[in-house]
């Protein structure tokens, strides 16, 4: 019964598809507005920071940079963060939103066709018709068919520009996702280095307390022998207590770092404390890192790539708005069957249709379109300025990271020498104090110098590790779509919150 109706609907859809294909051909040949050209930002020919020591001009090897620290725990934490980090999940959701927006934009290329079957009970209450013998009693009316709302034919490329903008925005969100992946990895690396540095600091303080205890015992023994005063004993006790009192603050900092690492890895503090309960040596940084050339940096950094895509999106919006000043060509129509009984919908002779083009032109709009064009041009200028600022920021990040790493390595080398000298001096002073050839003040000063040099050496070694991670991040972080795709698959498998 409904075959004629379905045949009518299929014919309508087929006609619309043909028209849409012809429209796509027209659109590719005519798009108003400026065509996007990638901005030319000329980076410096050479890095201003000296390329020396741990820095070389070789092409950077950023793939899985964390494995160059040869630390299995760090490797485990990076993998866990990639799988469970909440910020990464949020960025993945943002990509899905942009993908859906692109789908909405592309749908404007096609007509919207609605099918329906309608029933109504009608009565014509017209006295003139009744006086002429026309039947005006109530009657049934069945309608079935398809209707196409006004469909804009994209002659000037307005829809094509909207799609172009949505696509560029989607590409920008993908780059943002890559940037988040880099950020999460580097934050895990930096926080892990902080944890190991604080554990080293705790070890140094506890050893210092033992040394102060040994000095206190020597002072007490000398006091009993009558070779020094109670003042020496009290001074030794004070120094030991001061060293002991600094331990809780370091333990608090250590807990804070571990809890931050737990959040980055998408877990609770308990399991993370168990994983990091056993102190381990501070990971050793690679001896040398290649930085490549500035031009390659701009191709690697996702934040730069994302910013460039936003410029492209803004430029496309200019054309979309400029097209509003031109005539709009559209098609509309309807195809239906009408009968006074439901069975009549199966009769092809009851078919009817209406189909035709429309040309409309917005001749007066109070300056709305021109204002929209100005707005989109202003937004394009803002996007371009933001892109240039992002490029300069990328250059600054690398230059700063190079400076920090070079100077941290220099400090670590100098503190290593100073710590060895302080240790030798302390050993000698302790022997001399025991033999009575030096006083307690000298021993305590030497002991304090040793503790200070050990703490500063630990800090400088931690800075070397942290700044190495920072340089890897500044160089582009070694993003890889394999990790992004795995995260996307896990995110897609999550239960829909609705």
Phi first, then psi: give them for residue 15, nearest 5 degrees: -60, -40
On whether both 96 and 228 belong to a single domain, the answer is yes
Task: State the SS3 of 252-292.
Answer: HHHHHHHHHHHHHCCCCHHHHHHHCCCCCCCCCCCCCEECC
On whether both 395 and 284 belong to a single domain, the answer is yes
**End-to-end alpha carbon distance in the chain:** 39
On whether both 175 and 209 belong to a single domain, the answer is yes
On whether both 46 and 88 belong to a single domain, the answer is yes
pLDDT of residue 264: 93
Residue 407 CA neighbour count, 13 Å, CB half = 7
On whether both 199 and 59 belong to a single domain, the answer is yes
Q: What is the pTM of this model?
A: 0.81
pLDDT of residue 12: 44
> Which residue shows structure tokens 């737990």?
262
On whether both 45 and 148 belong to a single domain, the answer is no
| Residue 56, strand partner residues | 290
Give all strands (DSSP E) within 286-350, no chain letters.
Answer: 289-290, 328-339
On whether both 234 and 304 belong to a single domain, the answer is yes
On whether both 314 and 381 belong to a single domain, the answer is yes
On whether both 57 and 206 belong to a single domain, the answer is yes
pLDDT per residue, tens digit, the chain (498 aa), is 445 444 544 554 454 445 445 454 444 447 888 999 988 765 555 556 566 667 877 888 888 999 999 999 999 999 999 888 888 888 888 888 888 888 888 878 777 767 666 666 656 655 555 555 665 566 555 656 566 566 778 888 888 999 999 999 999 999 999 999 999 999 999 999 999 999 999 999 999 999 999 889 988 988 888 888 899 889 889 989 999 999 999 999 999 999 999 999 999 999 999 999 999 999 988 888 888 877 778 788 999 999 999 999 999 999 999 988 888 887 776 766 666 666 666 676 666 666 667 787 777 777 888 899 999 999 999 999 999 999 989 988 988 998 899 999 999 999 999 999 999 999 999 889 888 888 888 988 999 999 999 999 999 999 999 999 999 999 988 777 666 666 556 555 555 554
Distance, in Å, from the CA atom of 444 to the CA atom of 209, rounded to the nearest integer, reads: 12
Structural domain harbouring 200: 34-109+155-326+368-493
CATH code assigned at 74? 1.20.1600.10
- Among 312, 344, 360, the domain-final residue is 360
On whether both 166 and 294 belong to a single domain, the answer is yes
Domain count, the chain: 2
pLDDT of residue 293: 78
Query: Is 498 part of a structural domain of the chain?
Result: no
Per-residue DSSP letter, 133:
T
């Amino acid at each position: 019964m409904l075959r004629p109706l379905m045949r009518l609907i299929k014919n309508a859809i087929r006609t619309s598809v043909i028209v849409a294909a012809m429209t796509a051909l027209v659109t590719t040949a005519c798009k108003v507005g400026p065509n996007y050209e990638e901005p030319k930002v000329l980076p410096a020919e050479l890095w201003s920071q000296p390329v020396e020591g741990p820095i070389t001009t070789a092409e950077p090897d950023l793939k899985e940079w964390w494995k160059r620290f040869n630390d299995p725990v760090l490797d485990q934490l990076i993998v866990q963060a990639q799988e469970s980090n909440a910020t990464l999940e949020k960025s993945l959701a943002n990509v899905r939103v942009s993908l859906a927006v692109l789908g909405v934009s592309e749908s404007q290329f096609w007509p919207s066709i609605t099918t329906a079957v309608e029933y109504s009970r009608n009565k014509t209450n017209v006295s003139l018709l009744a006086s002429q013998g026309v039947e005006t009693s109530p009657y049934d009316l069945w309608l079935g068919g398809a209707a196409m709302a006004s469909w804009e034919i994209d002659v000037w490329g307005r829809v094509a520009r909207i799609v172009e903008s949505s696509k560029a925005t989607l590409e920008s969100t993908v780059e943002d996702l890559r940037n988040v992946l880099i950020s999460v990895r580097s934050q895990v690396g930096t926080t892990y280095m902080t944890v190991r540095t604080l554990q080293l600091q705790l070890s140094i303080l506890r050893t210092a307390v033992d040394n102060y205890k040994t000095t206190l015992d020597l002072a007490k023994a000398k006091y009993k022998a009558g070779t020094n005063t109670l003042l020496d004993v009290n001074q030794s006790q004070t120094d030991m207590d001061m060293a002991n009192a600094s331990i809780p603050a370091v333990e608090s900092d250590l807990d804070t770092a571990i809890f931050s690492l737990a959040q980055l890895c998408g877990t609770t503090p308990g399991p993370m404390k168990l994983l990091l309960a056993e102190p381990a040596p501070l990971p050793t940084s690679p001896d040398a890192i290649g930085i490549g050339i500035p031009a390659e940096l701009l191709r690697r950094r996702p934040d730069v790539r994302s910013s460039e895509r936003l410029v492209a999106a803004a430029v496309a919006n200019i054309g979309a708005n400029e097209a509003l000043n031109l005539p709009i060509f559209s098609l509309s129509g309807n195809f239906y069957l009408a009968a006074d009984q439901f069975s009549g919908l199966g009769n092809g002779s009851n078919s009817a249709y209406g189909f035709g083009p429309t040309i409309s032109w917005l001749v007066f709009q109070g300056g709305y379109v021109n204002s929209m064009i100005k707005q989109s041009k202003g937004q394009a200028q803002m996007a371009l300025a933001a892109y240039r600022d992002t490029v300069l920021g990328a250059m600054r990040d690398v230059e700063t990271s190079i400076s920090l790493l070079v100077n941290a390595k220099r400090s670590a080398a100098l503190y290593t020498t100073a710590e060895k000298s302080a240790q030798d001096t302390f050993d000698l002073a302790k022997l001399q104090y025991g033999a009575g050839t030096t006083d307690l003040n000298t021993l305590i000063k030497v002991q304090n110098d040793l503790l200070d040099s050990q703490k500063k050496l630990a800090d400088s070694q931690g800075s070397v590790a942290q700044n190495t991670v920072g340089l890897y991040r500044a160089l582009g972080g070694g993003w890889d779509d394999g990790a992004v795709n795995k995260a996307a698959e896990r995110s897609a498998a999550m239960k829909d919150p609705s």
